Amino acid sequence: MGLRHRASSLLLLSLALGLAVALVSVSAQQKFGINYGQIANDLPDPTRVAGLLQSMNVNKVKLYDADPRVLTAFANTGVEFIIAVGNENLQTMAASPAAARQWVATHVQPYIPATRVTCVTVGNEVFSSNDNVMMSSLLPAMKAVYAALGDLGLGSQVTVSSAHSVNVLATSFPPSSGAFREDLAEYIQPILDFHGQTGSPFLINAYPFFAYKANPGSVSLPYVLFEPNPGVRDPNTNLSYDNMLYAQIDAVYAAMKAMGHTDVGVRISETGWPSKGDEDETGATVQNAAAYNGNLMQRIAMNQGTPLKPNVPIDVYVFALFNEDMKPGPTSERNYGLFYPNGSPVYAINAGSGSGSGSGGSLNPYYTSMFSSSSKLAITFPTGVVVLLAALFL
């Protein structure tokens, strides 16, 4: 492709994305975040992903690393980032403050303020492993990263946390009886102390899908999909729950309270529903994925809180932006994405109006098709405006 042709293509792409962002900006900013995983060999360039998320009005992204290509691509977009220190680095950072400082100097400092890095997660689901060394290294590594951020003048801008599986709970129902596993108490108690001292949130990865898949005969599908159902009542608080995710969140609050902490917030760092699965993965369908994510996003748009914390809007990062074809495990692991790698939606969902009232129309950003096989950029907006511009991709 000649330089003139390439330049023309890039100009068309820039104009298309600019117009998309300008037109969709009449809708409220989306209040949910998105997990941007990259365990795939066919994902679009981060610059195109930046345009896609801007067209959707999504401004919170969580990474599983600190990919410099992504952080550079999102410079000056206003998108807020959670970046990550991998599990493989925990032992080194726990033992060497210099290593933590070098990581921050390399992966955080150069990108601020152009890219809004607001949180570093140190490790992911560390307590799901049987690695005692890794578990013992988690909090020292968190403290080392926190100290490094402070030393480099970034402590007031960037918090430090770690994402945990909801399976750190020994008991989750009724929510008021939520309790952490006894074998993890020695690790979680000081981590909660750290969060209380630094004002950072406790992050939980929660998937009601797994509960339904394990017991489809006893777990109500409407209950896990946020659809109309009789709900369940907590006998200790008399609070009624119409969905499993809210019950899980409040169980975490109860577990933290049992450890003496009512000063730490809970953020859902991952939740989602697969659109496809193996034969034994009951419930992994397009219809259920669209229902789960769509209903959840509508509740987020309404600033809804849980029964225990009705005035604290739920803070959720949906998993995931793209299907990732290289993830190991069952078929479902490769099919959590809202989008295919070519930018077309896996399904269309109603993300809510973002008005707080649930009225006045709805925003359907998932009608966006960014990279079609015909090399065209087609975006359908909730107002019915359709933009169709040629965009010849490199």
Query: Per residue in 113-126, pLDDT tens?
Result: 999 999 999 999 99
The answer to whether residues 135 and 126 touch, using CB atoms and an 8 Å cutoff, is: yes
Q: Exactly one of 182, 186, 270, 281 is catalytic; which is it? A: 270
The DSSP secondary-structure symbol of 183 reads: G
Judge whether residue 232 has pLDDT over 70.
yes
Q: Is 227 a catalytic residue?
A: no
Q: Is 333 a catalytic residue?
A: no
Contacts of 375 (CB under 8 A, 6+ apart): 390, 391, 392, 393
With a pLDDT cut of 90, the percent of the chain lying above it is: 78
Q: Cα separation of 348 and 337, whole Å? A: 12
Q: Which residues pair with 34 in a beta bridge?
A: 61, 318
Predicted TM-score (pTM) of this structure:
0.85
Confidence at residue 349, expressed as pLDDT on a 0 to 100 scale: 80
Q: Give the tens place of pLDDT for each residue, 210-220.
A: 999 999 999 99
- Crossing angle of helices 132-151 and 97-107, in 10° steps, is 60
Nearest to 49 by CA among 309, 318, 339: 339
∠ CA 322-115-207, nearest 5°, is 35
Q: Cα separation of 307 and 287, whole Å? A: 27
Mean pLDDT of the chain: 85
Return the sign of the alpha-carbon dihedral for residues 61, 62, 67, 68: positive
What mean pLDDT do residues 170-181 have? 97
Q: Exactly one of 80, 125, 227, 333 is catalytic; which is it? A: 125
What mean pLDDT do residues 214-236 have? 97
Confidence of residue 30 (pLDDT cuts 50, 70, 90): confident
